[in-house]
Structure 1
Amino acid sequence: MTRWQRRRRTAVAAVAVAAALTLTACGGQTDDRPEVDGTIIQPGKPGEPAEELDEAPVITPAAANAADVRFAQMMIPHHAQALEMGELAPSAGGSEQIRSLADRIVSAQRPEILTLAGWLDELGERAPTREQIESGDLPMPHAHGDHGGEGEAMMGMATEQQMAALRRARGDDFDVLFLQLMVRHHEGALEMISDVLTEGSDTQLGKLAAGMASDQGSEIDRMNQLLARMG
């Protein structure tokens, strides 16, 4: 079993534990996350329909610890690079499949950035403003290595050279490089999520992280299938 497979199995197990804890804390309430397609969806209570929201929902910190804060502060710039990658797709001349996938990633991760920033602000922790998020003026962490605080390397991040190559790429070359970089990017995110689900203590942040793991795990499978077809 590869290191990635071990980490993914850990993340899946942690998601299951987080879901069970959430059900207990909410008296049996489920957290079925509808697919994000550009509209922000708030799941309803059992037997009630989901709600369409105009903006990202606010999560109120409960009993956050250092692992929770570290995760939120790191995931914001991590997501920011995914947005930058995804926003290159419409003008790169690649396939409709890749443009659709990139749009899905951007549509899911932009509201997650807003939610994480709002959660940090509620705690009085360092967080970007809405204006910084909407303008894309976010600090970008270094690529490669293990993750940590500001200025340290972060798992799954593309290097400056890789991002420059992606900006230049067109057509099939863009599609292949986008998939390769985004698979690695998602794998890095799953490692970060696995850590917060095992070390963090805030239930609501755990629910958000578990949803991220489910979405990004599915997207990794889809991207690997597309790469296999491209040879």
Structure 2
Amino acid sequence: MDSRRWLTIGGAVVALVAAGGAIAWSRSGGERSASTERPQASTSGPPVTVIQPGRPGESAKVTDSGQVAPLDASTYNAVDTAFVQMMIAHHQQAIQMADLAPQRAGNTQLRNLAERMSIAQKIEIDVLEAWLQERRLPANDPSHNHATMPGMQTPEAIAALTAARGADFDKRFVTMMTAHHEGARVMAGDVLKGGTDQRVNEIANEMAVEQTSEIRRMRDLKVT
């Protein structure tokens, strides 16, 4: 994946007050549900002078913001917001695992792949955090249970991976990261079905494609 494409988030953004909601995953039943409340635009503040472009062949006109129809603020919903917030935590665990590889992995190709994963997911976190900041949304929601997200590894599994070396580390890493990536693909699929924000849709789609590719590369290493 060309990491530079993650660095561009185009377009002006209208400040919004988001409705509450989260995607919730149940570890026991595997069920997923999502709130689909839509946010409302903020209309506070006095009118300001604006220049409104005319149609082709017409001149622009000066008016005040009170006379300009507001932009459609319903570009994202609670499913989008929950996905972005929870994917940040999901990526953080993947980075934690990937950053163990340089000092522990026995397979050189695995070390290189883990390094690329860490770099790419750090960039993706920056993009996700920027999406939230532009909409004045919090970086996390206390109602989210990160441990139940698809693919998340237990503290015990992370501890065992940290203690492993050489071929043992390689096998554990591929098994755990493959499950982690497959969980991210599930989450991406959920937001593609229930979200409404075009940028989040693009991020989720590219993420699913990239993580599918990385799963294939890990399997090709044949370390398990």
State the TM bucket, normalised to the shorter chain: 0.5 to 0.7
User: 2:223 matched to 1:230?
Assistant: yes
Match of 1:81 among 70, 93, 103: 93
Answer with 1 or 2: which has the greater Rg.
2
Please tell me the residue identity of whatever aligns with 1:66: A
Match of 1:58? 9
| 1:52 equivalent in structure 2 | none
Partner of 2:22: none
Distance in 2 separating the partners of 1:220 and 1:151: 22
| Equivalent pair of 1:59/1:204 in contact (CA under 8 Å) | no
* Shift of residue 221, structure 1, vs aligned partner: 1.6
Higher relative contact order, chain-length normalized (CA < 8 Å, sep 6+): 1
Question: What is the Cα deviation at residue 204 of structure 1?
Answer: 1.0
What is the alpha-carbon distance in structure 1 between the residues aligned to residue 185 and residue 114 of structure 2? 18
Per-residue CA distance 1:179-224 (angstroms, 9 max, x = gap): 0000000000000000000100000111111100110011112222
Alignment RMSD: 2.2
TM-score, scaled relative to structure 2: 0.67
Work out the CA distance in 1 between the residues paired with 2:139 and 2:156: 27
Alpha-carbon distance change, 151 to 89 in structure 1, aligned in 2, over 3 angstroms = closer
Contact 1:89 1:102 in 2 (8 A): yes
Query: For the structure 1 residues 95 and 120, does the alpha-carbon distance in structure 2 shift closer, same or farther, using more than 3 Å as the test?
Result: same
Identity %: 42
Which residue pairs with 1:165 in the alignment?
Answer: 160
Q: Is the 8 A contact 1:56 1:111 kept in 2?
A: yes
Name the CA distance, whole Å, in 1 between partners of 2:98 and 2:124. 15
CA-to-aligned-CA distance 1:154-189 (integer Å, 9 cap, x gap): 110110000000100000101110000000000000
Question: Which structure 1 residue ranges, 5 or more long, are not aligned?
Answer: 1-34, 43-54, 129-138, 142-147
Partner of 1:198: 193
Give the total of aligned pairs. 163
